[in-house]
Structure formats: structure tokens, C-alpha cells
Amino acid sequence: MAKQKDDTPKRVNILNRRASYEYSFLAKYDAGMMLQGTEIKSIREGNVNMQDGFCTFHPDGSLWVHNLSISQYTLGTYNNHEPKRERKLLLNKKELRQLANKTQEQGVTIIPVRLFVNDRGFAKLEIALAKGKKLFDKRDDIKAKDQKREMDRAREY
């Protein structure tokens, strides 16, 4: 008897956890990505590292993501993709203009926060306009998390 294939799609939701610790987010955008053949298969397997990722504008006005590592597909052939190549992000012109204007400010950058596959099967990258946190901001966040954890423990009893 043949095995039945499970047709329910596996949810892909890859987070950049370090980003929320290092940066405070000013605004978030969902952007499409231009991918090559085997990249989407690696994303569906969850082989993505976006710890060092960042976004920059090219002179033609397009937004590109750098240092987003999508590992090579294990079953790929000689035309497998390069893991750390630059990938173009797809946003509408209004969003690109807003991001370009905001990044002119001192200390503001664009970083990838989350990579997911939507209902139609397209890989989307959630990017955030972010400002770096100071050391005391990080300490405040740690203190708030500890207090929340203590409150949750107290509620359980």
C-alpha cells in the first residue's frame, strides 16, 4: 500500500531574534524577493541565516538585501545558487521613496526581521526601519522581560 502524501503546506517562519535585541523598530514592511531556482526549496527547508543581514539602496533606486545566507539546496545540481549573494527586494515606489527618505537620517538602517512563505507560495521578507539601541536600552528590555516572566510565574500559582 502506497503512503499518502500530506498536502498541508509546512509553514515557513524564520525570525531574526537578534534584531529585536539590537535595534528598536520604527516601521515594518513586507517585501517580495527575487530568487533563483533552488533558493525557494532551501527556504522551505528552513536553511536560512539572517543574523548579519542588512539592506541598501543601489544608485538606480532599488533596494537590495546583503548577507542573507540561504544555504545551498541539498539535492541541487551544478546550477545550485550562491548562498550569500545579493537579492533584490520588491516594494512599490511609494514604499521605496519612504524608506529612502528615512534612511537619510543619522543612525537609521533597514534590517531583515522575518522570512516567510505566504499563502500563494511566494517568499516574503519582512524588513524593518530600525535604530540601534544603546546599552541602557538593552538593559531596560532585559529587566522588562524578567519582570514579565516573574508576573507569569506568580499567576500560575
> What residue ranges define each of the domains in the chain, with the CATH number in brackets?
13-156 (2.40.280.10)
pLDDT of res. 128:
92
Amino acid letter at 145?
Answer: K
> Which pLDDT tens digit goes with each residue over 74-130?
777 777 777 788 899 999 999 999 898 988 888 899 999 999 988 888 889 999 999
pLDDT of res. 36:
83
CA distance 128 to 114: 9
Pairing of strands 123-132, 48-49: unpaired
Q: Measuring CA to CA, which residue among 57, 56, 28, 52 is closest to residue 116?
A: 28
Query: Above pLDDT 70, what percent of the chain?
Result: 94
The pLDDT of 10-37, averaged and rounded, is 86
CA distance 15 to 51: 9
pLDDT at 8 over 60: no
State the pLDDT confidence band at 37, using cuts at 50, 70 and 90: confident
**Residue 10 CB: number of other CB atoms within 10 A?**
9
